[in-house]
Structure 1
Amino acid sequence: MRLSRGTPLLAAVVVAAAVTWPTPAAGTAVRDGHCARQEQVRVPGSAFQQSACLSDLTTAGLAGTPYTDLADQAGLTAAGTRTPSGVPGLQIDGYFPDSSHFNATHGWRHDAQFVIRLPDRWNGGLVVTGAPGTRRQYATDKAISDQVLAQGYAYAATDKGNNGSDFYRDGTRPGDAVAEWNTRTTQLTRAAKRAVAQRYGHAPRRTYVTGISNGGYLTRWQLENHPELYDGGVDWEGALWTTDGPSLLTSMPTAVARMLGSARDEDLYAVGFARGSEFLWPYHETAYWGVTQKIYRAEFDPIYDPACPGPSAGNTPERILAPCPADAAYDYASRPASVRRAVAKVALTGRIGRPLITLHGDLDALLPKAADSDVYARMIDVSGRGALHRFYTIRGGTHVDGLYDTFPDRLRPILPCYRSAFDTLVAWVEQSTMPPADRAVDRPVGGDVVGSCALADRDAPVR
């Protein structure tokens, strides 16, 4: 890891998402036509970039090309998700100087990769995100990029500077790899603003930060630490890191213990897992719990079990997903102060400086809401920033929307609620239209479960 130095109307909002996307306002087309100024757009601080003038920047047009990666998006959206298409413009791929090499996209084997998309018809805004989980820069193309491009926003995404199950090997000290995620998001935001100015003749009038899971964490951190760069954000089930807990390191060990037969269901409820989410646990045992605990514990507390995972989380899917047995007994509260110092590098405070909307599924079986967004909402309130925050619990929502296809009678996708939330944020920021109060959004009994969401359902407040 190495960074270059240069380098108020009260209204109920009901939005049907994923059916039609607004056409950018008249007069926003680049005056010189398709991909104008392509040769003039340089991403400040990048070590390498390549540009492509494309007839469609959405996944419908990019599928099967080098300009997206459908495999890295797997599981994030429901199979029936509808997305817009037909957004011509300029795509810039590249990377910033970095010394790690986990990202093999384009054959570059170079981290700190980014993608910037500049539509021909621009609405004056920019949306920035970072990859969820340990994925890469194209991971949220279908979930985020397609919609915002169709609305006329420029879009920028980063791989966070390290990725994959061995990301914890980056950096020289515990916590460095995750800390880089924040630095890279800040770096890309600043660079993308300047690239936008080169393309359209002026800087973006509005900039929004958003993301899923680890991307939601990035959104929280950016609005706490660099509010000057953004006008607001939408946090979709962001990960919570706090110096004294809770965090993944206080909930995942119990999940691993259950995997290995030394914990009961009641123990999982005690660390935040929701009653009613039990039907999702077998899948998470095989796909998430073991690998999540071992790689994040290796990132912040490598001395706990130096032999596992060791220099690699594994070279086969089975080995990667397998837990470290010692993690079943991991007790964050009893670990040395050095571990807290490592987590403190990336810890959240709740002191957001711009409007933030948080969404969290009540059946999230990876980042339990009770140990995550419920806590973060209280942190925001305690810090005196509650007026800047709205929090919507999505009933029937879980961590990845792809599971809806397996359990359509029990789950609902969060994506349509996310799209509604994004439009709600924009109305809050740009029109002073106050969003609905904190609430739980019911799972629809019928209708278009995959394609619509009403954030203003009449329901009891969440908190």
Structure 2
Amino acid sequence: MPSGGLPVPLVLPYTAALLLALTAVPAVAQQPSEARAAGHCSRITRLQVPGAEHQEWACLKELTTAGTVASGHTDPADWAGLTPAGLATPSGVPGVQIDGYFPDTSATNSNHGWSHDSQFVIRLPDRWNGGLVVAGSPGVREQYANDRAIGDWVLSRGYAFAATDKGNTGAAFYRDGAAPGEAIAEWNDRVTQLTRAARAVVAQRYHRPPSRTLATGMSNGGYLVRWQLENHPELYDGGVDWEGTLWRASGPNLLTFLPPALRHYPVFAAGGSGAGAAHRAMLAAGYPEGSEFLWPFHHQYYWDLTQRIYREELDPGYDGPIEAGTPYCAPGAPACDADYAYASRPSEVRRAVATIGLTGRIGKPLITLHGTLDVLLPIGRDSDVYARMVHDAGRGGLFRYYRVEGATHVDSLYDAFPDRLRPLTPCHRSAFTSLEAWIGQGRQPAPSHTVARPAAAGPSTLLTDCPLDSTEPR
């Protein structure tokens, strides 16, 4: 067992959850003759994704991971570690899958052997409910990253589903783009591009446009939901933001709260006379009291790499010719990311962040949920701040915010700490159905509040239930 007490099978996929893109299983596309022979998929080759440079069609008996794992139409490595092991997998969703890519000059995504970025997947169930769900991948993963956490469930409810790799993948995503911030800015453009294209494909398939288009995603995918509803509300009817990353030129952002963790956590972990002051410094940086049991794992697998690659994307001049810093450097070493001070960096760094920054000026209904024990994007430095931004922008009537007690950034950690954590996946589903009722029936969701973790709740409850109307408003 590695440090932190997490089983080895959990550690490796969990490390990939935000940062790494792994080699995918090639999809097995049906030949057009086979597709034409299948009644429910007749004429699928007439479906054309607007703007796509390449696309492949498949007529599938099962669009969820209950079937796509075996058929090769998903990549389990891409979504490994994002959900609890005990999460049920729905099935019984036949339909059409389209895989392809839009024109792009970068080649970080090796899925299907294409070595081409801006890959997408569009799934069109036979039994369609009239809606479309669009998602961008969390972290810097590929287009299948949302399949188990989001895609399976919305497909089982009859939605068409579209997802994108965001235009660049992997821990060296910062190599894409000609200027600081451009690799992340492309993420937003690619979600907009896919949304427009998927709406057109839905209309081709079902002979009418979607009656509702919803954006959702986790972590970086949640950031994309926020950005889309601020900048392209005309494309959507609403969205669910699952612990979205906050980018704000004036801070807080990743580059303001990760360096303190790199400086102070090793001193805290070593014990001794400096441990108390280091612990206080961690809490002051935003890491929640009571989350200390999660710190060893995040120090080993997340904080250092996340700081270095996102700092390289937005402030490559900090370490000169060195690419993405020195792993686990000691404070005081030259250009060490543990010493990074965002506030003292040149103004062009804040301008780079501003190009991807959020404003809170959402134009369609948005539900945000975030775990109180998130120690990658601490809630007090992320969604608490974004909620204030939305209200300060005068958009509070379009917004609900649920702080979920005992949830952390990635649900796979629930398997290691079932007595201390709760998974966010059921809470996302509750938020999604609340959004449906809000935009479809005019039924107002519960006021924003902290959702309590049920006392003595076990997996049968925590893996399936997360009512959002159970505690006092905040």
Question: Do both proteins adopt the same fold according to a TM-score greater than 0.5, normalized to the shorter chain?
Answer: yes
- The answer to whether the Cα contact below 8 Å between 2:371 and 2:424 also exists between their aligned partners in 1 is yes
Residue 449 of structure 1 pairs with residue 462 of structure 2: yes
Q: Which of 55, 58, 62 matches 2:64?
A: 58
Give 2:306's aligned amino acid: T
Question: CA separation in 2, counterparts of 1:290 and 1:63?
Answer: 32
SS in 2 for 1:433: coil
Describe the superposition over 1:33-81 as per-residue Cα deviations: whole angstroms up to 9, x where unpaired.
5124302100000010001000000001111332101111111101110
1:344 matches 2:336: no
* Aligned equivalent of 2:450: 440
Per mean C-alpha deviation after superposition, the further-off stretch among 250-259 and 334-343 is: 250-259
Q: How does 1:374-385 map to 2 (within 5 A)?
A: 374-385=384-395
Match of 1:164 in 2: 170
- Equivalence map 1:350-389=2 (5 Å): 350-389=360-399
**Equivalent residues of 1:293, 1:323 under 8 A apart:** no
Checking the alignment, whether the CA contact within 8 Å between 2:254 and 2:307 is kept in structure 1 is yes
Residue 15 (structure 1) aligns with: none
Q: Measure the CA separation in 2 of the matches of 1:306 and 1:60.
A: 48
Please point out which of 309, 315, 320 is paired with 1:306: 320
Alignment of 1:394-413 (within 5 A): 394-413=404-423
Shift in alpha-carbon separation, 1:67–1:266, aligned structure 2, 3 A: same
CA change 1:124–1:363 in 2 (3 A) is same
1:392/1:306 CA distance change after superposition, 3 Å = same
Q: Distance in 2 between matches of 1:444 and 1:189?
A: 37
Matching residue of 1:461: 473
1:322, distance to aligned residue in structure 2 (A): 4.9
Contact 1:61 1:86 in 2 (8 A): no
Give the Cα separation in 2 of the matches to 1:271 and 1:198.
50
What residue is the counterpart of 1:203 in the other structure?
Answer: 209
CA distance in 1, matches of 2:292, 2:201: 47
Question: Which structure 2 residues correspond to residues 16-95 of structure 1 after superposition, within 5 A?
Answer: 34-95=40-101
CA distance in 2: counterparts of 1:54 and 1:368, whole angstroms: 41
Aligned residue identity for 1:228? E
Q: Please report how far the alpha carbon of residue 86 of structure 1 lies from its aligned counterpart in structure 2 after TM superposition.
A: 1.3
Secondary structure at the counterpart of residue 114 of structure 1: strand
Could you say what secondary structure the match of 2:187 adopts?
Answer: helix
Stretch moving more, 325-334 or 412-421: 325-334
CA distance in 2: counterparts of 1:87 and 1:416, whole angstroms? 20
Q: Is contact 1:416-1:451 (8 Å) kept?
A: yes
Counterpart position of 1:145: 151
Which has the larger share of helix?
2
Question: 1:204: Cα distance to partner?
Answer: 0.6
Per-residue displacement from partner, 1:170-195 (whole Å, max 9, x unpaired)? 00000000000000000000000001
Contact 2:265 2:282 in 1 (8 A): no
Deviation at 1:331, TM superposition (A): 0.6
Percent identity, aligned pairs only? 60
TM-score normalised according to structure 1 size: 0.89
Partner of 2:403 in structure 1? Answer: 393
Q: Distance in 1 between matches of 2:300 and 2:66?
A: 31
Alignment: residue pair count: 422
Relative to structure 1, is the Cα distance of residues 304 and 208 closer, same or farther in structure 2, using a 3 angstrom cutoff?
Answer: same
Structure 1 unaligned regions, length at least 5: 1-31, 314-318
Specify the code of the residue in structure 2 equivalent to 1:65.
Answer: S
Partner residue in 1 for 2:225: 219
One-letter amino acid of the counterpart of residue 148, structure 1: V
Write the distance in 2 (CA, Å) between the matches of 1:64 and 1:225.
39
Higher relative contact order, structure no. (Cα contacts within 8 Å, ≥ 6 residues apart): 1
Question: In structure 2, how many angstroms separate the alpha carbons of the residues matched to 1:383 and 1:461?
Answer: 21
Query: Alignment partner for residue 235 of structure 2, among 206, 229, 237?
Result: 229
Matched residue type, 1:452: D
2:11 match: none
TM-score by length of 2: 0.87
State how far apart, in whole Å, the 2-side matches of 1:179 and 1:75 are. Answer: 26
Counterpart of 1:424?
Answer: 434
Cα deviation, residue 261, structure 1: 3.7
Structure 2 equivalent of residue 266 of structure 1: 280
Contact between 1:137 and 1:157, CA under 8 Å: does it hold in 2?
yes
Answer yes or no: is the 8 Å Cα contact 1:223–1:354 preserved in 2: yes
